[in-house]
Structure 1
């Protein structure tokens, strides 16, 4: 960079952690036309704007590899809960939940399926195909960069609704065509939600066939496995088999081991991943920085209850004989099904969101089912079924399900990266990870508990994630890369969101830059929305 050239931004007095895994170094960063154009100890030249980092950390913007913000980034393009954590890029359509493609005949089923996880969008949807959804994302000014997978749940609903059976050869061909259309429109891969209906009804032939389509375009297979508790290893074997048969890179969503009796055994799963990697399978995983998860309350029921969709499930919940069968199943172990209640207890199942704002059940948000049952003078299982009926199936829960040591073990692994798995709901009692995942890693697990060094944590949130999910020329502080940058104070950074008060922004994030434009300073949003949709650059056939 010559002496007379003008930068748009210059970061001075910086401790640069470049995202590669190397330790920090002192330096300055020059930004011009959306990109990093110079990194050196002392930059020559003037700048329109100078940001004095005051010897704080400057690093690449964080990448949230596991989100459910498919509608949230459209309804709230500023997206402060993630932006104020230092997140500059997101991966959409995880766990098989997505809002495209849409079949008008099954649209209502799709909406009922996604709303406890993706939230709602009050306006008329301006898309039916995945390509049209991508066009909405591309045309909408947002604060951060986006990539999207194509969600198997949405694909299957478009073709089969909630049919609880293997797909016919014709239906598989129809689903393959929808996956191919999505890959051609820029999807980075296929996401599965094998715990949830209708994904749990898919057999090996269907899953391999669809995965092969994604593989042909250079995509990834991202799996929420069928079970993450007593049957974890069997579920891992299933997704390993699918990935190997389809010859596709595999990513395991939120790797964990659920159940009090299973705590401390995650090393078996980690050893198996390492063994598969040694055999040549390209496999990675993500994890959130909490011992509690969050999902739709419907998923706590045996999978047969959801056959035919939410409306059919509600009919079963109203039928005395079916209620008795549900009660019986939830009191015992059923092979291949994670019985969360049996593994955890009712006291670890918390209602985090109910349907609608003007709702008498809002008062139970934040209460566990023992507390709710006592309040309502019912058995917990009866309380569960009645609540789902009252809320038309649209209830979200928090499960206190993992051990701290297991979380740390996955965090330390070389093949894990960070995903919030946050749910962008309107409830006041949502899981705090939507507001705190990334600062929590840096404060609790890096600074306070020293689970890993700072440079390793930042690599997991930046270059490693960018490489895995198709964010080309992002995730590293290097000349020629896009200027997605975060400035934070290593001693001040901390998550403030709690289970009691989850809607609190973190401390310590000073500046956030996306594509060379400043989008946030000191937890205040600027007017800039420079985010872009990043399509997969595929080579097919």
Structure 2
């Protein structure tokens, strides 16, 4: 007897092939039959006129700590997500060196959030073990994060790493890869990643080929420096002989709109030379990050406490204001390219500033009677450097171009959402793909969209036998109504679950039924099965 049969659905199997009508049978956590099923089952669900799809893969998000505090993962379950990939952009809670605890925790807090409990891990492997013991509702895979490596070995020092320091970072990277991390992520926009030369990264990446690890990159600049930044990471990957994945490809600032086509040409040229290069994109024209990313890189040297101290120094404060007033050659000044009215405060820590959430910096500066740069620095002082922002700096046409690109997959890039007004992508990314880009704008076909959310990310991140509706694959399944699926989260009111997703199966267990979480927690920690030459 089967455990579960989904009857009479439109099966979109994840391969990109046309949908077909049929049933899906599940036994012991695995899809065992697809087609017309007459075999008895403990549970039979009629899903007539609905889509049966593999569970969606969020291949780029920042749920590293949320998955521990909220293992039911209802925000993602409601979107049909059955697997998340964390440790992105060089940001992760491990490796965690005790004497640099404050540096790492304040570094990741605006993106990953914080915890009310002490972190018990030190290595990436111990973090992975801890996540596994939290018994989540979804599956989790992780990278080793370069920012965390650099902090563990050399803090926020703005200088090249020594030979000994590179050797130590390579040891920590290899430890994480042996534990099952899928590769190395970097965030060259963020200090201390921004202090790293491409030659240093080539040396660090020399560890990856032995483990067939993926090199995932938040590039150094997404505005005026978009094209040289894409070229830089291609250069690194080519010399290291590794596969490259470029995170959330975009062109920031109106003067740069349209450059995504040139960036994609760089990707195509690299692929023509035999390089394995792909990209991802989120389906919105606004991003989200921490307010400190607008600062000149030198201001972040030494960690957040040193940054706040710089704001208290009149000479350094004047230098910051001067540098933010014009374009820069060696780093992207997104204030110049997009303006203070494009930077919206999404989350603060203090109750006294809660009324500012949802307002852009120019508006807050006007309320306070300040220059926007002074307002920004004072706000960071008041909030101990912990301010999340939403950044309206992209073109809808550019987003469509990257979504339509054959070698792009779609992911949320969702941040911690414990406080404030998070970016609506946290609650709405996956339904939005179908509602806007399939049903309304017709940028993708149904089958193309499902492939970009299922089998493609599984292949890219080496996540095992999931992502397809075929016998022998894990029973991670999402059922939705193509006519009613809709994201309802907005920038003004982002904490709203979508509609149209009726059932989610994780590891063969019905985790969402008729849009309600069943409290099943059948997720697992996915450990990469590296082909190590040792």
- Scaled to the shorter chain, the TM-score interval is over 0.9
2:97 pairs, out of 78, 96, 103, with 103
Supply the distance in 2 between the matched residues of 1:385 and 1:324 (Cα, whole angstroms): 11
1:106 is paired with a residue of what secondary structure?
helix
Supply the distance in 2 between the matched residues of 1:157 and 1:433 (Cα, whole angstroms): 29
1:108 is paired with a residue of what secondary structure?
helix
What is the match of residue 540 of structure 1? 532
Q: CA deviation at 1:427?
A: 2.3
The aligned length equals 533
Q: CA deviation at 1:476?
A: 0.2
1:36 is paired with a residue of what secondary structure?
strand
1:387 is paired with a residue of what secondary structure?
helix
| Residues 115 and 394, structure 1, Cα contact 8 Å, conserved in 2 | yes
1:254 is paired with a residue of what secondary structure?
coil
What's the TM-score, normalizing by structure 1? 0.98
Q: CA deviation at 1:428?
A: 3.4
Supply the distance in 2 between the matched residues of 1:314 and 1:137 (Cα, whole angstroms): 33
| Residues 231 and 266, structure 2, Cα contact 8 Å, conserved in 1 | no
1:87 pairs, out of 70, 75, 81, with 81
Supply the distance in 2 between the matched residues of 1:535 and 1:376 (Cα, whole angstroms): 50
Deviation readout 1:94-119 (Å, 9 max, x if unpaired): 00000000111111000000000001
What's the TM-score, normalizing by structure 2? 0.99
What is the match of residue 50 of structure 2? 56
Q: Is residue 384 from structure 1 mapped to residue 376 from structure 2 by the alignment?
A: yes
What is the match of residue 464 of structure 2? 472
Q: CA deviation at 1:87?
A: 0.3
Supply the distance in 1 between the matched residues of 2:199 and 2:168 (Cα, whole angstroms): 14
Q: CA deviation at 1:539?
A: 2.0
What is the match of residue 239 of structure 2? 245
Instruction: List 4+ stretches of structure 1 deviating above 3 A.
Output: none
Supply the distance in 2 between the matched residues of 1:186 and 1:384 (Cα, whole angstroms): 40
Q: CA deviation at 1:206?
A: 2.0
What is the match of residue 19 of structure 1? 14
Q: CA deviation at 1:452?
A: 1.0
| Residues 428 and 501, structure 1, Cα contact 8 Å, conserved in 2 | no
2:526 is paired with a residue of what secondary structure?
coil
What is the match of residue 474 of structure 2? 482
Return 5+ residue gaps in structure 2 as ranges: none
What is the match of residue 302 of structure 2? 308
| Residues 497 and 506, structure 1, Cα contact 8 Å, conserved in 2 | yes
What is the match of residue 526 of structure 1? 518
What is the match of residue 507 of structure 2? 515
Q: Is residue 116 from structure 1 mapped to residue 115 from structure 2 by the alignment?
A: no
Q: CA deviation at 1:470?
A: 1.5
What is the match of residue 412 of structure 2? 420
What is the match of residue 501 of structure 1? 493
Deviation readout 1:186-229 (Å, 9 max, x if unpaired): 00000000000000011123211221112211110000000011
Deviation readout 1:4-37 (Å, 9 max, x if unpaired): xx11000101000000001110000100000000
Supply the distance in 2 between the matched residues of 1:415 and 1:336 (Cα, whole angstroms): 29
Q: Is residue 30 from structure 1 mapped to residue 22 from structure 2 by the alignment?
A: no
1:283 pairs, out of 263, 277, 300, with 277
What is the match of residue 171 of structure 2? 177
Q: CA deviation at 1:527?
A: 1.9
1:511 is paired with a residue of what secondary structure?
strand
2:324 pairs, out of 317, 327, 330, with 330
| Residues 428 and 502, structure 1, Cα contact 8 Å, conserved in 2 | no
Deviation readout 1:427-447 (Å, 9 max, x if unpaired): 231100000001001000100
Q: Is residue 7 from structure 1 mapped to residue 21 from structure 2 by the alignment?
A: no
What is the match of residue 396 of structure 2? 404
Supply the distance in 1 between the matched residues of 2:190 and 2:420 (Cα, whole angstroms): 25
1:77 pairs, out of 61, 71, 84, with 71
2:332 is paired with a residue of what secondary structure?
coil
Q: CA deviation at 1:265?
A: 2.6
Deviation readout 1:313-334 (Å, 9 max, x if unpaired): 0100111100100000000111
1:206 is paired with a residue of what secondary structure?
helix
2:95 is paired with a residue of what secondary structure?
coil
Please report the RMSD computed on the Cα atoms of aligned residues, expressed in angstroms. Answer: 0.8
2:90 is paired with a residue of what secondary structure?
coil
| Residues 162 and 197, structure 1, Cα contact 8 Å, conserved in 2 | yes
| Residues 25 and 31, structure 2, Cα contact 8 Å, conserved in 1 | yes
